[in-house]
Amino acid sequence: MTKAKVLLVEDDPIQAKETEDLLINTGYEVLLARDGINAIKLVKSMKPDIILLDLILPGLGGYEVCRWLKLDETAKAIPVIMLTVKKDLAEKISGLQIGADDYLPKPYNALELNARIYACLRTKAIQDELREKNRQLEELLDKVNFMAATDSLTGLFNRRKLQENLSIEFERAKRYKIPFSLVMLDIDYFKKINDDFGHGTGDSVLKEVADIILKSVREIDTAARFGGEEFIIILPNTDRKSAVIVADRMRESLAGHVFTGVTRKITASVGISGMPDAEIVNEDLLLRCADMALYRAKQNGRDRTETGTCAELVKDFP
């Protein structure tokens, strides 16, 4: 507390000298301003811990300075004790209403001034500690929320977050008749990759596939690991025809990529469903149709993209 930096704003040279000496003798570092404009400049440049602000100042008065301090994001947490020869209750109330933390009439007792400074600094220290704890708590909460929504291996959204975003997009598409597509991508013969090169290499392949997917989609899209070697991408405002272009770009990037620890080409099969589709009445059926399209891609030789309406895709299944 005694190492605190005090800004004294006082235009009376005699009063300023007396108060400055008192504060220095108590152990405070003192900054001195003779008017409101210089006080604001010192607040910006020197960042005092507390401000003793005279009410009557040349030019910009104490009320105006206090009002500016409490509206400024970088200064509003600095406690302000207003000093004045006026003892009228209305003056005191006015100062407190615009944000002053305390009010001390002149002439003031040295012990009382020190006590009020100490009290304000103690309150500020408690508030600063609470703010820091709140900041740490918010960071922790953000981390927990991120972990709850993210696949730990690939860094993509997990199945839970996918379902949440899919529900939102499905309802939006139903209400506003806006198209969107669901892309389901499956790495071809992934089990053989694990068997031939090991599960560590398999995990590396999954991470690299996730990176390729992320580079192929927009910020508004949702890319998620659906499970195992399956990935799903939600493409808002995208019809099935446009989604095929995106999917083929992904497949080509995968096929042309040299995967770490793998000595052969890796490909993927893709199925696409989307809205609008008269047969699709819920998200589960939308997923099912994408899965049927993916099954068609595998049946037709893999490393390809298949799509269609739900009615068309159902024909492949007895």
Three-state SS string over the chain comes to CCCCEEEEECCCHHHHHHHHHHHHHHCCEEEEECCHHHHHHHHHHHCCCEEEEECCCCCCCHHHHHHHHHHCCCCCCCCEEEEECCCCHHHHHHHHHCCCCEEEECCCCHHHHHHHHHHHHHHHHHHHHHHHHHHHHHHHHHHHHHHHHECCCCCCECHHHHHHHHHHHHHHHHHHCCCEEEEEEEECCHHHHHHHHCHHHHHHHHHHHHHHHHHHCCCCCEEEEEECCEEEEEEECCCHHHHHHHHHHHHHHHHHCCCCCCCCCCCEEEEEEEECCCCCCCHHHHHHHHHHHHHHHHHCCCCCEEECCHHHHHCCCC
Q: Is 229 in the active site?
A: yes
- Tell me the β-bridge partners of 6: 30, 50
Strands 268-275 and 230-236: unpaired
Catalytic residue among 20, 169, 229, 306: 229
Catalytic residues, by residue number, are 229
